[in-house]
Amino acid sequence: MTVLAAPSTPAPAPAAATVRRAVQSRVEARAGYLFATPALVLIVTILLAPIAVVIALAFTDYQLGAVEWAWIGLGNYERMLDDPVFWRSLANTFIYVAIVVPGSVVFALVVAILVNERKKTRTLYQIIYFLPVTTTLIAMSVVWHFVLNPQIGPIAALLRSLGLPAMDVFGDPDLVLAGLATIGIWQLVGFNMVLFLAGLTAIPRDLYDAADIDGADHPWDRFVRVTWPMLGPTTVFVVVTTTITAFRVFDTVAVITRGGPLGRSEVLLYAMYLEGFQYFDIGYAAALTVVFLVTVVALAVMQAFFLDRKVHY
Amino acid sequence: MAALEIDTVSKSFGGSAVLKAVSLDVRDGEFLTLVGSSGCGKSTILRVIAGLEPQDAGAVRIGGRPVDHLRPKQRNVAMVFQSYALYPHMSVKDNIAMPLIMQRLRLAERLPLVGRLSPRRAKVMAEIDGEVGAVARQLHIEQLLARKPAQLSGGQRQRVALGRAMVRRPDVFLMDEPLSNLDAKLRVHMRTELTDLHRRLGVTFVYVTHDQVEAMTMSDRVALMDEGRIVQLGTPADLYHDPLDLRVARFIGSPGVNVLPGTVTGAGVEVGGAQLPLPVAAAEGAAVQVGLRPETLSLDPPAGRPVLKIRLSATENLGAEVFLHGRADGAGDSPIIIRAPLDAFDRARAAGRLDGTVTVAVDPARAFVFDADGRRVGRRPVEAAVVRMPVPAE
Ligand SMILES: Nc1ncnc2c1ncn2[C@@H]1O[C@H](COP(=O)(O)OP(=O)(O)O)[C@@H](O)[C@H]1O
Ligand SMILES: [Mg+2]
């Protein structure tokens, strides 16, 4: 009996210990949530709650200042499907993004590589290219409007003096998006360049030395075999942030073209602004916002996912 | 395979001279080590040899052929970097294949899709695969060929870097502190592997390290550098037993050489009361520095040899031998280390000669005398055959 009893006596002890451990871990978990609460509250009130409100509003016919409103289910989305302005805005936004993203990324990469090779003038170039980032786009839109003005702008004067017809970039339905995209690129290049410069600085010099010894000393080989692959993670980041920024194009449209001519520069944010703050149709504007959010998030996630797998090492 | 000559090469960076007229002949198939403290210009010499850094003056010849006008890839040298410098986005196989791909495929054939149109490409790539596989087998990394460098341990990365260097069959192998990123145990193991590799390949090795143990254990000859100059070039035994400069004596050997202040007398050198009958090329009364290797100080009764009195402060028993730390009475109170075999230590203790102070016998034939500037005076070369090389301690 003693032989059997011996192992059974200490048995309650581990059981008690288990209970104590369970209690302790529950206390720890509760304390953990307590510590996380301030951050959670902030995230909910600043980020999640507004989004939830927008999503809810999109199911209503709420007009700004109206006393009565009703749930209309998917009514706003149904209206959107038949709204030519929405489709035009969506298409224009995509075209704008399709020009601005490759344009500003490639241009920034080229500039960054050139600036990176400068020793003494590097800082100077960095500041010059970064200047547009520090200006407000509204003010700069006014400047661009003037510069490209077909009557009084310096570009037009230059063209006229060469005997060429003056271009009315913002008045020509075929040029207006390209014109806006140029301003977008102009504004983004400096920021992207700084990101690429940071990426370039982080490439170990040893890799270029090894490439030299291995025979990859042609500028093309150095770029393809070392620089470009090593910039992979930076490029993903730049492309994703640039896409999001480009999707939010608004200032230039609002100040320079107001969606014209012939609606050829209507973009999503501008349509949203008109519906919400000119026509006070908050419900519809909220629905547009939801579409905008979903598109941007989907695009960013897709890019990050696909590109990240390619550049992973 | 080729000899390497460095002929009065100088190099400065923005006004500070990093290499000061360095000349060095490396024999065909030799394992030559450049050793020196950090910042003395070792890496710069390697980079000049490789063609990564143009020298300001002087010439580099490989196999008797001047290479100064050649680009790094044309010099047929391979380099293993301290950081290994593997391409992180490429597999081990592609890393090793890189020099061959660059050598054997034309620019158009290396392009991603267009390259496949070349009828030659497939055949060349198959050849390269075969050679990469052979190198990987030699280094026992054939199972790692598909991995990326980030998925490898430090030792495995080291082998990949070696593989990339070996695959092109270079005339000269340049290695810049290749073991310094490994843990101590692996470092000891890789020392023997590298010397093995050198023997198998029979290629000229120029090996850079700041670790005197690596220099002593691996090399045919060692060049000790300081402040952009080669202070002494010789076999490891030369540098240990016959240092021509105080810096060499201090750098080589662990524990380090004891340096005591002395004075030139009519009969030789006086140090801490001991008269060392050494022919010294210096004026009588001149102050000199006497270098005594820790193992040349004997705990056994002096038997007529000159002696130093030492106050002991600590004893380190390493098993086979004992390090005694103390200060030399009458020799400027200089710190001193004695390295005694265990039996000699036991004998001295049994005889009661270790009571806080100890009298050690000095072997004048194995003392080095340096002038105030650290140059050796009173040279007394010892036959390397007579003196057993002590195994350097880590
Ligand atoms: N590219 C460079 N530009 C400026 N100074 C350099 C450069 N390369 C090396 N140096 C300087 O030259 C000296 C020697 O460097 P190095 O050859 O790397 O020394 P070691 O390899 O012996 O530690 C150091 O003082 C270092 O700062
Ligand atoms: Mg170095």
Give how far Cα B7 sits from Cα of B40, B232, B235, Å: 18, 16, 20
Strand B307-317 to strand B357-362: parallel, antiparallel, or no bridges (unpaired)?
antiparallel
Q: Do B87 and A225 touch (CB under 8 A)?
A: yes
Tell me whether residues A226 and B87 touch, CB distance under 8 A: yes
State how far residue B147 is from chain A, nearest Cα, in angstroms.
Answer: 10
Residue B163 CA to ligand 2 center (angstroms) comes to 21
The two tokens of residue B338 are: 């004695």
B71-128 pLDDT, tens digit each: 999 999 999 999 999 999 999 999 999 999 998 888 888 887 787 788 888 889 999 9
Q: Tokens for A27?
A: 């206390």
CB of B332 within 8 Å of any CB in chain A? Answer: no
User: To probe the interface with A, which of B105, B110, B132 has the most A CB atoms within 10 Å?
Assistant: B110
Residue A228 touches chain B, beta carbons under 8 Å:
no
pLDDT digits (tens, 9 = 90+) for A177-191: 999 999 999 989 999
Listed residue (B88, B91, B119) closest to B105, CA to CA: B119
3-class secondary structure, A226:
helix
- Whether B139 contacts B163, CB under 8 Å: yes
- Ligand with an atom nearest the CA of residue B54: 1
Q: Calculate the average pLDDT of chain B.
A: 89
Q: Is B40 in the pocket of ligand 1 (CB under 6 A)?
A: yes
Find the CATH number of the domain harbouring A85.
1.10.3720.10
Atom of ligand 1 nearest to the CA of B14: 4
Q: Which chain A residue shows the shortest CA-CA distance from B98?
A: A214
pLDDT mean over B326-336: 85
The answer to whether B271 and B278 have CB atoms below 8 angstroms apart is no
Tell whether A158 is covered by a domain.
yes
**Ligand 1 binding pocket includes B43 (Cβ within 6 Å):** yes
- Ligand 1 within 6 A of B39 CB? yes
pLDDT at A192 over 80: yes
Q: Is A230 on the interface with B (CB under 8 A)?
A: yes
Nearest to B87 among A207, A212, A215 (CB): A207
Write out pLDDT tens, residues A32-90. Answer: 899 999 999 999 999 999 999 999 999 998 888 888 888 888 889 999 899 999 999 99
CB < 8 Å from A in window 157-186 of B? 164
Cα–Cα distance, B78 to A207 (Å, whole number):
14
The percentage of residues in chain B with a pLDDT greater than 90, rounded to a whole number, is 69
Question: What ipTM does the predicted assembly reach?
Answer: 0.84
Q: How far apart are CA B63 and CA B61, in angstroms?
A: 6
Give A205 to chain B, closest Cα distance, Å.
9
Residue B176 CB-density burial (10 A; 0-12 exposed, 13-18 middle, 19+ buried): buried
Q: Smallest CA–CA separation between B100 and chain A, in Å?
A: 8
Chain A / chain B CB contacts < 8 angstroms: 70
**Which of B190-204, B289-303, B367-381 has the weakest average pLDDT?**
B367-381
Separation CA A16–CA B164 (nearest Å): 61
CB distance from A212 to chain B under 8 Å?
A: yes
Q: Is A213 on the interface with B (CB under 8 A)?
A: yes
Does residue A261 have a cis peptide bond before it, meaning omega lies within 30 degrees of 0?
yes
* A189 lies in some domain: yes
All residues at 6 or more sequence positions from B260 whose CB lies less than 8 Å from its CB, including other chains: B271, B272, B289, B290, B292, B308, B328, B331, B332, B334, B336
Range from A195-209, A247-261, B105-119 that averages highest in pLDDT: A195-209
- Mean pLDDT within B252-257: 91
Q: How far is the CA of A227 from the centre of ligand 2 (A)?
A: 24
Q: Which residue of A has its CA nearest to B110?
A: A221
CA distances from A134 to A237, A281, B306 (A): 20, 34, 80
Residues from chain A that touch B90, judged by Cβ atoms under 8 A, are: 229
pLDDT greater at residue B1 or residue A243? A243
CB contact under 8 A, B98 and A216: yes
CA of residue A123 to ligand 1 center, whole Å: 24
Give the H or E element holding residue A128.
helix A122-134
Total number of domains in chain A: 1
Closest CA to A282 of A132, A126, A66, A27: A66
Q: Which of A213-217, A285-289, A296-300, B310-314 has the lowest mean pLDDT?
A: A296-300
Q: Is B42 in the pocket of ligand 1 (CB under 6 A)?
A: yes
| B73/A225 touch (CB, cutoff 8 Å), yes or no | no
Q: Residues B189, B195, B198, CA angle at the centre, nearest 5°?
A: 140
B103 touches chain A (CB under 8 A): yes
CA of residue B23 relative to chain centroid, distance: 17
Res A287: pLDDT? 93
Reading the block at residue A116, the tokens are 């990176």
Exposed, middle or buried: residue A308 (CB in 10 Å: 0-12, 13-18, 19+)?
middle
Q: Which of B99, B110, B150 sits opposite A214 (nearest CB)?
A: B99
B349 CA to chain A: closest CA distance, Å? 56
Residue A130: domain span: 78-308
Q: Whose CA is nearest to atom 16 of ligand 1?
A: B41
Q: What is the DSSP string of A162-224?
A: TTPPPP-TTT-TTTHHHHHHHHHHHHHHHHHHHHHHHHHHTS-HHHHHHHHHHT--SHHHHII
Q: Is the pLDDT assigned to residue A96 strictly greater than 60?
A: yes
pLDDT value, residue B93: 94
Is the confidence at residue A3, as pLDDT, over 80? no
Question: Does the CA dihedral B181-B13-A117-A120 come out positive or negative?
Answer: positive
> How distant, in Å, are the alpha carbons of B6, B177, B215, B258 from that of B246?
25, 24, 18, 11
Mean pLDDT, range A225-236, rounded to an integer: 91
How many Cβ atoms from other residues are within 10 Å of residue B22's Cβ? 24
Report whether A69 contacts A63 (CB < 8 A): yes
Measure A308 CA to nearest chain B CA, in Å.
13
Q: Is residue A54 part of a domain?
A: no
Six-digit token string for B208:
């850079």
pLDDT in tens, A122-164: 889 888 888 888 888 888 888 888 888 888 888 888 888 888 8
Higher-confidence residue: B71 or A16?
Answer: B71
CB A266 within 8 A of CB A88: yes
Test the B interface: residue of A207, A209, A212, A214 with most B CBs within 10 Å: A214
CB A102: neighbour CB atoms within 10 A?
13
Residues A222-244: what's their mean pLDDT?
A: 91
User: Closest chain B residue to A232 measured between Cα atoms?
Assistant: B89
If residue A80 lies in a helix (H) or strand (E), which one and from where to where?
helix A75-81
A178 contacts A288 by C-beta, under 8 angstroms: no
Domains, in order of start, for chain B: 4-237 (3.40.50.300), 255-378 (no CATH)
The distance of A310 to chain B (nearest Cα, Å) reads 10
Task: Indicate if the pLDDT at residue B391 is higher than 60.
Answer: no
Q: What pLDDT sits at residue A10?
A: 47
Q: Which atom of ligand 1 is nearest to the CA of B40?
A: 22
Report the amino acid identity of residue B40: C
Higher per-residue pLDDT: B166 or A310? B166
pLDDT for A312 equals 61
pLDDT, residue B96, reads 96
The minimal CB distance from A217 to the residues B71, B85, B88 is found for B71
pLDDT at residue number B10: 95
The reply to whether A262 falls in a domain is yes
Q: How many angstroms separate the CA atoms of B42 and B47, rounded? A: 9
Distance between Cα B39 and ligand 2 center (Å): 7
**A201 pLDDT more than 80:** yes
Radius of gyration of chain B from Cα atoms? 26
Q: Is B41 in the pocket of ligand 1 (CB under 6 A)?
A: yes
Domain assignment of residue A228, yes or no: yes
Residue A252: inside a domain: yes
Q: What is the mean pLDDT of the segment spanning B196-224?
A: 94
Q: Does residue A168 fall inside a structural domain?
A: yes
Mutate one of B43, B79, B86, B92 to test the A interface: name it (highest A CB count within 10 A). Answer: B79
Q: Is A219's Cβ below 8 Å from some Cβ in B? A: no
pTM: 0.82
* Look-up of token digits 């075929």: A174
Q: Is residue A70 part of a domain?
A: no
Consecutive H or E run containing A240: helix A232-247
B233-249 pLDDT, tens digit per residue, is 999 999 999 999 999 99
B158 or A167, greater pLDDT:
B158
Tell whether the model's pLDDT for residue A275 goes beyond 60: yes
B220 token code pair: 């045919």
